Amino acid sequence: MNMAIRAGFTEAIPMSRRRLFGAYLEEARSECLRYLRAPGFMLPILLFPAVFYLMFGVLMVHGHDSAGLARFMLSSYVAFGVMAPGLFGFGVSLAIERDGGLLTLKRAMPEPPGAYLLGKMLMAMLAAGLVVLLLLVLAITMAGLSITLAQGLELLITGMLGVLPFCALGMWVGTLIKGQGAPGLLNLVYLPMAFLSGLWVPLPALPEVLRQTAPLWPAYHLHQLTQAALGLRSGSIFVHAGELLVFTVVFLLWAMWRLRRHG
């Protein structure tokens, strides 16, 4: 034992596969723990979509006797709620960690490649999952929607995967700005995009030019997928999933290139 320990000063000790996997796991665990314990992060992410959904999706729809509208509202607020953990979890934390020196320290330490991003991604997926579950519970108990188990699961999976393009976008924004300016800038992305994608006012009620440009925004495609999960749309979902995948890859690579260049 002692010999092996001494050897560390002269010989490189190989990192076993098991320990490497353990390092990825620890990173993800720490990242999740860290944010789930931060009320300043979790509360707005959970409460904003929940409160908006209760106001516009439950109270306003009530009495209209329109189950279709209530479902549509759920699909909208799920998409709206899923955007936040991605944008803010990645964007704000990256901007603050670049500013506070944590990112530099991580780069100097032998953190396995990609563990930092992977950990944040899992954290965002977990937070997105919580948002979807919360909205589902509200929809079933308060709005009285009947949702099958399959629909609920599809919505949950859509939300957890659907957070990824917003992680990539948030990360890209996080490379543009350092420190406390990030939340403001991200809100300027978040709220207008939600509106332009028809999450607040249904697209048919929007002006022609906004209806035409809506497919430019990833939130629009996510909304199509959440509608499909709730049985509001028929037809192929692959176009929208593909659009989101391309968007994710482009912004992820762009952000990683910027991080490597500008630190």
Partner 1 sequence: MNKLDQPVAALHGVVKRYGDVTAVDGLDLEVHRGELLALLGPNGAGKSSCVSLLLGLLRPDAGRAELFGRNPQHVDVRRRIGVMLQSAELPATLRVRELLRLTASYYPQPRDLAESARLAGVTDVLARPYAKLSGGQKRRVQFALALCGRPGVLFLDEPTVGMDIDARERLWWAMRTLVGEGCAVVLTTHYLEEAEVLATRVVVLGRGRVLSEGSVDTLRAHVASTRIRCISTLPAAMIAGWPGVEKVECGGEHLIIISSAEVEGLVRRLLDSDPALRDLEVRRAGLAEAFTQLTREAEAA
Segment interacting with partner 1, rule: CB under 8 A, options 7-15, 183-191, 193-201, 251-259: 7-15
Phi-psi region of 65 (alpha: psi -120 to 50; beta: other; left: phi over 0): left
Strand runs (DSSP E) across the chain, as ranges? none
User: Most distant CA pair in the chain: distance in Å?
Assistant: 77
For position 209 contacting partner 1 by CB under 8 A, the verdict is no
Q: Do the beta carbons of residue 237 and residue 224 sit within 8 Å?
A: yes
Q: Which two tokens stand for residue 70?
A: 């209530």
Q: Which two tokens stand for residue 101?
A: 């020196």
Q: How far apart are CA 212 and CA 196, in angstroms?
A: 10
State the minimum distance, in angstroms, from the CB of residue 100 to partner 1.
3
Considering only residues 81 to 120 of the shown chain, the ones binding partner 1 according to CB under 8 A are 96-97, 100-102, 104-105, 107-113
State the minimum distance, in angstroms, from the CB of residue 175 to partner 1.
17
- Indicate the angle between helix axes 164-176 and 238-262, nearest 10 degrees: 30
State the minimum distance, in angstroms, from the CB of residue 43 to partner 1.
14
State the minimum distance, in angstroms, from the CB of residue 193 to partner 1.
29
For position 34 contacting partner 1 by CB under 8 A, the verdict is yes
Q: How far apart are CA 162 and CA 233, in angstroms?
A: 17
Q: Tell me which of 3, 9, 208, 261 binds partner 1, using CB under 8 A.
A: 9
Q: Which residues bind partner 1 (CB under 8 A)?
A: 4-6, 8-16, 19, 22-23, 25-27, 29-30, 33-35, 37-38, 96-97, 100-102, 104-105, 107-113, 263
